[in-house]
A and B are shown apart, each in its own frame.
Chain A
Amino acid sequence: MRQWGTGAALLLAACCVIGLSHGKLSPLPRTAADESYLPDPAMAKLTSFGFDALLADFYWLQAVQLLGGPEGARGKSHRIGALVDLVTRLNPRVDHPYRFAALWMTDDLAAVHKANVLIQRGIEAHPDDWRNHFHLAFNYFFFLGENQRAAEVLATAVVLPRAPVYLGRLAARLRSDRGGLSAASAFLATLLQGAEDPQAREAYEQALQQVETERLARVLDRARQTFRERHARDIVSIDELVTVSPSVLERLPPDPFGSGWDLNKEGVIVSSGIGYRYVPQIDATNRQRIRQTTEGRTSGG
Chain B
Amino acid sequence: MSKRLSVIAVLAGHTLRDAIRNKVLYVLLMFALLMIGMGMLLATLSYVERDRILQDVALSSIRLFGAAIAIFIGVGLVHREIDRRTIFTILSKPVSRADFLVGKYLGLVATLWLMLAAMSIGFVGVSLVADAPIGPSTFAALGAVGLELAVLVAIATLFSCFATPFLAGCYSLGFYLIGHITRDLRAIGEASDSEMMRTATAWLHRILPDLESFNWTIEAVHQLPISTSEFAWAAVMGVAWCVAFLTVASLVFERRDLR
- A contacts, CB < 8 Å to B: 42, 45-46, 49-54, 56-57, 60-61, 64-65, 91, 93-96, 100, 196-198
B64 close to A (CB within 8 Å): yes
Instruction: Report whether B49 and A94 are in contact in the complex, using a CB–CB cutoff of 8 Å.
Output: yes
Instruction: Report whether A61 and B45 are in contact in the complex, using a CB–CB cutoff of 8 Å.
Output: yes
With contact pairs A57-B52, A95-B49, A196-B47 given, residues A50 and B211 touching in the complex (Cβ less than 8 Å): yes
Tell me if A's interface is mostly helix, strand, loop or mixed: helix
With contact pairs A42-B188, A93-B218 given, residues A64 and B46 touching in the complex (Cβ less than 8 Å): yes
- Distance between Cα atoms of A56 and B215 in the complex (Å): 15
CB distance from B225 to the nearest CB of A (A): 13
B10 close to A (CB within 8 Å): no
Instruction: Report whether A51 and B64 are in contact in the complex, using a CB–CB cutoff of 8 Å.
Output: yes
Question: Which residues from chain B contact A197 at a C-beta distance below 8 Å?
Answer: 47-48
Tell me if B's interface is mostly helix, strand, loop or mixed: helix
- Distance between Cα atoms of A51 and B47 in the complex (Å): 22
- Distance between Cα atoms of A198 and B48 in the complex (Å): 11
Interface size class of chain B, counting residues whose CB lies under 8 Å from the partner chain: 20 to 34
Question: Which residues from chain A contact B188 at a C-beta distance below 8 Å?
Answer: 42, 46
B1-30 with Cβ < 8 A to chain A = none
A–B complex contacts, Cβ < 8 Å, 18 sampled:
A42-B184, A46-B188, A49-B181, A50-B215, A51-B60, A51-B64, A53-B60, A53-B217, A53-B218, A54-B56, A54-B217, A57-B53, A60-B46, A60-B53, A61-B42, A93-B218, A94-B49, A197-B48
B198 close to A (CB within 8 Å): no
- Distance between Cα atoms of A46 and B59 in the complex (Å): 19
CB distance from A94 to the nearest CB of B (A): 7
Question: Which residues from chain A contact B221 at a C-beta distance below 8 Å?
Answer: 53, 93
Question: Which residues from chain B contact A61 at a C-beta distance below 8 Å?
Answer: 42, 45-46, 53
Nearest-CB residue, chain B, relative to A196: B48
Question: Which residues from chain B contact A57 at a C-beta distance below 8 Å?
Answer: 42, 52-53, 56-57
Question: Which residues from chain B contact A49 at a C-beta distance below 8 Å?
Answer: 176-177, 180-181
Nearest-CB residue, chain A, relative to B54: A57
